[in-house]
Amino acid sequence: MISFLILLLFPLLFFIVVICLASRNLQTSEELRNFKNAEASRVLSSGGQLLGKFYIENRMNVTWGQLPAHLVNALVATEDVRFFDHEGVDSRSLYRVLFKTLLLNRSESGGGSTISQQLAKNMFGRKAGGSFSVPVNKYREIILARRLEKTFTKEEIITLYLNTVSFGEDIFGIDAAAGRYFNKITESLRIEESAMLVGMLKATTRYNPALKPENALSRRNVVLRQMEKYNYLGSSDADSLTALPLRLDYRKAESEGRADYFLVRVRKELDEILGNIALSTGRRWCPEKDGLIITTSLDDDLQSFARQSFARHLSTMQKHLRDQYSTAAGRAKLNELTEAILLEKNLGHRAGKINRQLIFDWKGSYPDSISVRDSIKLALTTLHGGLLAMDPQSGAIRAWVGGIDFITQPYDQILARRQLGSVFKPVFYALAFEEGMHPCQYLDNDSLVLRDYQDWRPENFDRSYGGKYSVAGALARSMNIPSFVLFRELEFEKLNLLWKEMGFTFPLRNTPALALGTAEASLEEIAVAYSVFANGGFKIKPWSVTSVIEPDGNIIYLRNRDEIFPRILSERSCHLINAVLQKAVREGTGTSMQSVYGVSSAFAGKTGTTQNYADAWFAAYNPGLTVVARTGASLPSIHFNNRYHGTGSVLALPLVALTLKKAESRPVTAGRFIKPFPPLPPELQGSLDCPDFIEDKLPFRQTDRIRKQRTDRNYGTDRRKSFFLERLFRRNRRN
């Protein structure tokens, strides 16, 4: 009797414990009704193309009306054939699981969970509970399934299920799955595609069509036969569909990496926007959960053209750089630098350790086993680059290529602060025009030695000396000595103020070498500064987010297009700078824009090459677009060793020119970004009608006598002397 009572009471106690544990903290009907899936926020280009998503779970919710009938039929026929007849629990399925699966160990007999029970699991997951986990979770799902049936219609349950279920990898919901495996929206799925996706639900890894296509094909056909069995398909249709091969249009990443760097920038701006809205309204949004639609300023065509220019040009230049460091001298320098890094990072003991890592290559990245030492060498000789295109009138970002590969090189080169070289020169030339200087005033090109600065001497790139260059000719041809002469005639305090007003953050140091571009700035700061020239003197602020909309269409944020920008340069100065920098593209250091790359539209531009070819710059603009590019290795000590590969006109200019040539060749794109410069006003007509270079003869000396007598402030010292006496420095005039 005691044994009998124990046998009787044990299962009773077991079920009491299960019921008690399962009933704790169950969601109410109201909580079920208010349930909301975490939904990915989509980031769109200005043309409405998907650039990427912000998400915890990669999911886009769909409505019942977006679900094809054959998708619903496939799901019911395979997962819960009596779905429309039961009230959340299918007793026949439960008995089958109990007797066939548990007692007879026949796993092929199928599961006992209905779609409603599976939905309960998808919505709230399962909790760990030791020995009672399985029965407790099953019973919880039974209770919740019944509540779901009382709270929602059958159609709503199907919709919720298809929005919550996992399809493997990092995707949740039918819409994300349709996009990943077939590059489609849910409404466009074909019968065989719906069958394949439903078939994956049995085991998402085992039946993943990208990993195991044979398994996926077999499982798809099982689903199609289930549809035939329950009269959702005719026999002939089922025969035809099962005979079809498995056709995928697999999209691992929705954006395919075309705007990954830009997405980081968008997220930062979005956080600021949503933060300001929260402060003013108290309402908060989470981009990873709330399914926002974020439209940006990025232009699909221009972004694509820029990325193509990187692949075409930098892949070639990368080979040249690696070839240079494969020579005996190059290897010696690289080994020396590598050892210094190993010592600095205290990695000497790990130098030979082999690690598995992803290696970037322009032909396609690949995993490889590589030593720490070789990994450092590879990183040192990797050629990086960045390109930013923006609307100089509004600040809208049109293209943002922050590097060569976001996965292996995530640091954004657009934000990196590097030495400027000659792209700095237009800043102080603009100040000279602000001070009333004329493009046809002449500047000495005599060799100079500054004894107060350790005999430092400026040198022209071509090592030429003597004669005089016009202000316009000196800037267009990027002559260093005349630029230095002009620089010394300007007040540093005024230059420093203009530098800050243009948006630069690097503190200027009042040294002679500053005239040749020792200042540092980011690519974004240069784009903002050159946009001041392009728009007639106004300081704009770059932006990327046009609008933010909730899934129901409610507009959270809309960009103010009537923003007023402060004027920091006069219209006269901008007219003159624009005229001179157009001359630089036509006749100066930027001539390959037209002669080599065939850009026929009017652009102003300036090249920049830093010491030892460490960094190469090129900036080009018109009233409709500013484009700036910079290239270089991660450390300035790794660089090209000759002008044929390392100058701004060879290394950076092609990135801009190739982008603009493609934009120019398409009428729609050209119409958006190719804008003509306004003509010079009457008082400035002919302001560049003078020779770039003249010999230093008496008539010109007399003309410049007043300018030569201006005092020199001598970089903060108290000593003052006439500018003419500066010529007592050593000279080396060459005809």
Is the CB of residue 655 less than 8 Å from the CB of residue 433? no
Q: Name the token pair of 49.
A: 């193309």
Is the CB of residue 636 less than 8 Å from the CB of residue 337? no
Residue tagged 């340069």 (tokens): 569
The values of phi and psi at residue 50, to 5°, are -70, 125
**pLDDT value at position 17?**
52
CA neighbor of 186 nearest in space, from 194, 178, 198: 178
Q: What average pLDDT does this structure show over 479-494?
A: 96
Domains delineated in the chain: 12-42+56-242 (1.10.3810.10), 384-394+416-534+563-728 (3.40.710.10)
Q: Name the token pair of 408.
A: 């292996």
Is the CB of residue 387 less than 8 Å from the CB of residue 374? no
**Do you know the residue count of the chain?**
735
| DSSP-derived pairing of the beta strands 604-609 and 616-622 | antiparallel
**pLDDT value at position 85?**
85
Q: Would you say residue 98 has pLDDT above 60? A: no
Q: Name the token pair of 172.
A: 């949740």
The sheet with strand 693-694 has its strands ordered as 442-444, 468-470, 693-694
Q: Would you say residue 472 has pLDDT above 80? A: yes
% of the chain beyond a pLDDT of 70: 84
**pLDDT value at position 548?**
97
Q: What average pLDDT does this structure show over 578-588?
A: 97
Q: Name the token pair of 21.
A: 């544990």
What gap in Å lies between CA 188 and CA 172, rounded to an integer? 18
**pLDDT value at position 717?**
29
**pLDDT value at position 672?**
94
Q: Would you say residue 536 has pLDDT above 50? A: yes
Q: Which residues contact 408 (CB under 8 A, 6 or more apart)?
A: 358, 359, 360, 365
**pLDDT value at position 139?**
60
Q: What average pLDDT does this structure show over 423-432?
A: 98
Is the CB of residue 620 less than 8 Å from the CB of residue 585? yes
Q: What average pLDDT does this structure show over 246-271?
A: 84
CA 455 from chain centre, in angstroms, equals 45
| DSSP-derived pairing of the beta strands 293-296 and 545-549 | antiparallel
Q: Would you say residue 255 has pLDDT above 50? A: no
What gap in Å lies between CA 627 and CA 622, rounded to an integer? 9
What gap in Å lies between CA 671 and CA 673, rounded to an integer? 6
589-598: pLDDT as tens digits: 999 999 999 9
Greatest mean pLDDT among 52-66, 113-127, 172-186, 249-263 lies in 172-186
Q: What average pLDDT does this structure show over 270-278?
A: 95
Q: Which residues contact 678 (CB under 8 A, 6 or more apart)?
A: 575, 623
Q: Which of 171-175, 253-257, 452-456, 610-614 has the lowest mean pLDDT?
A: 253-257
Cα separations in angstroms, 37 against 34, 56, 119, 172, 470? 10, 11, 12, 10, 67
Q: Would you say residue 18 has pLDDT above 60? A: no
**pLDDT value at position 626?**
98
Buried b (16+ CB within 10 A) or exposed e, 133-164: eebbbbbbbbbbbbbbbebbebeebbbbbbbb
Helices 69-79, 191-200: inter-axial angle, 10-degree rounding = 40
What gap in Å lies between CA 86 and CA 616, rounded to an integer? 71
Q: Would you say residue 723 has pLDDT above 80? A: no
Q: Would you say residue 703 has pLDDT above 90? A: no
Q: Name the token pair of 526.
A: 């240069």
Q: What average pLDDT does this structure show over 505-533?
A: 96
What gap in Å lies between CA 96 and CA 173, rounded to an integer? 29
Q: What average pLDDT does this structure show over 12-28?
A: 55
Q: What average pLDDT does this structure show over 556-578?
A: 95
pLDDT greater at residue 298 or residue 212? 298
Is the CB of residue 227 less than 8 Å from the CB of residue 77? yes
**pLDDT value at position 507?**
95
Is the CB of residue 347 less than 8 Å from the CB of residue 339? no
Residue 432, classified by CB atoms within 10 Å of its CB into exposed (0-12), middle (13-18) or buried (19+), is: buried
Is the CB of residue 41 less than 8 Å from the CB of residue 55? yes
User: Residue 710 — pLDDT band, cuts 50, 70, 90?
Assistant: very low
Q: What average pLDDT does this structure show over 171-179?
A: 90
Q: Would you say residue 601 has pLDDT above 70? A: yes
pLDDT greater at residue 615 or residue 457? 615
Q: Which of 18-27, 532-541, 626-635 has the lowest mean pLDDT?
A: 18-27
Cα separations in angstroms, 311 against 28, 367, 551, 654? 56, 20, 37, 11
**pLDDT value at position 614?**
97
CA neighbor of 376 nearest in space, from 355, 406, 403, 361: 355
Helices 213-229, 69-79: inter-axial angle, 10-degree rounding = 90
What is the rounded average pLDDT for all residues in the chain?
86
Q: Rounded to 5 degrees, what angle do the CA atoms 306, 312, 318 make? A: 110
Q: Which of 31-35, 97-101, 214-218, 435-439 has the lowest mean pLDDT?
A: 97-101
Q: Which secondary structure element, helix H or strand E, spans residue 616, and what is its range?
A: strand 616-622
% of the chain beyond a pLDDT of 90: 67
- Global pTM? 0.79
**pLDDT value at position 34?**
62
**pLDDT value at position 544?**
98
Q: Which secondary structure element, helix H or strand E, spans residue 71, and what is its range?
A: helix 69-79
Amino acid at 507: P
The values of phi and psi at residue 422, to 5°, are -75, -10
**pLDDT value at position 258?**
86
Q: Name the token pair of 219.
A: 């499982």
Is the CB of residue 712 less than 8 Å from the CB of residue 726? yes
Q: What average pLDDT does this structure show over 434-454?
A: 91
Is the CB of residue 649 less than 8 Å from the CB of residue 592? yes
Is the CB of residue 459 less than 8 Å from the CB of residue 480? yes
234-243: pLDDT as tens digits: 999 999 999 9
Is the CB of residue 272 less than 8 Å from the CB of residue 544? no
Q: Which residues contact 585 (CB under 8 A, 6 or more apart)?
A: 591, 593, 594, 603, 604, 605, 620
**pLDDT value at position 78?**
92
**pLDDT value at position 137?**
54
pLDDT greater at residue 23 or residue 154? 154
Q: What average pLDDT does this structure show over 162-169?
A: 88
**pLDDT value at position 107?**
44
What gap in Å lies between CA 731 and CA 445, rounded to an integer? 10
Q: Which of 444-448, 453-457, 484-488, 512-516 has the lowest mean pLDDT?
A: 453-457
